[in-house]
Amino acid sequence: MTNYTKLLNSRNRFIDSMAQNMNLYGITHSVGRVYGLLYFNEGPMTLDEMKDELGMSKTSMSTAVRQLQELNMVEKVWKKGERKDLYISNNDWYQSFTDLFSIKWRMGISLNITTINKSVKDLENVIHDPETDEEVKAAAQIDIEKFQYALNYYDWLNRLVDSLENNDIFQLVPKKSETQE
């Protein structure tokens, strides 16, 4: 095995591992491989170059790149004389994680808070309805308290996401610099 083959195998092993881990954040394996390809490529690439390298269709490649752009993990760049769109990876993993985590969690938090607020309103109507049985009113009140606990949790989670977005998290958990061992 040549040293060049070892280099490529090492990269591919890491790209595959990274792509599998990105699945934890709702990113498909193929999209993770696109990011990995761009990460190890020393310059920008066109969709055609990425398609050829990974053996994906141009439509799948375009969809993957668009998803990575929405997550701020890939950006389009301009190069004089080049007519095709070129893309590079965002190599600041701290920022990529922050953006990815924030985007995904904000959507989930918002959906859950909206659902809880609607449920609480419905339960308050149940409690204030004179025809509601006292046992049902008591159960509804317990549920409202559980929903309040959940709202408190989502408030905490929102503040956690805030700390990621404004980089306050790095005061508590500092980044390791390249010079640290």
Rounded Cα–Cα distance for residues 153 and 136 (Å): 26
| SS3 at position 133 | coil
Residue 177 lies in a domain: no
Predicted pLDDT at 179: 53
Q: How far apart are the first and last CA of the chain?
A: 32
How much is the average pLDDT of 136-149? 97
Q: For the beta carbon of residue 110, count every other beta carbon within 10 angstroms.
A: 12
Per the structure, the complete domain to which residue 8 belongs is given by 3-90
Q: Is the residue at 180 inside a domain?
A: no
The reply to whether 131 and 160 lie within a common domain is: yes
Encode pLDDT of 110-137 as tens digits: 999 999 999 999 999 999 999 999 999 9
Predicted TM-score of the model (pTM)? 0.73
Per-residue pLDDT of 96-107, as tens digits, reads: 888 888 888 899
C-alpha separations of 13 from 2, 6, 96, 116, 175 in Å: 16, 10, 21, 43, 25
Residue 78 DSSP class: -
Domain check: are 21 and 76 in the same one? yes
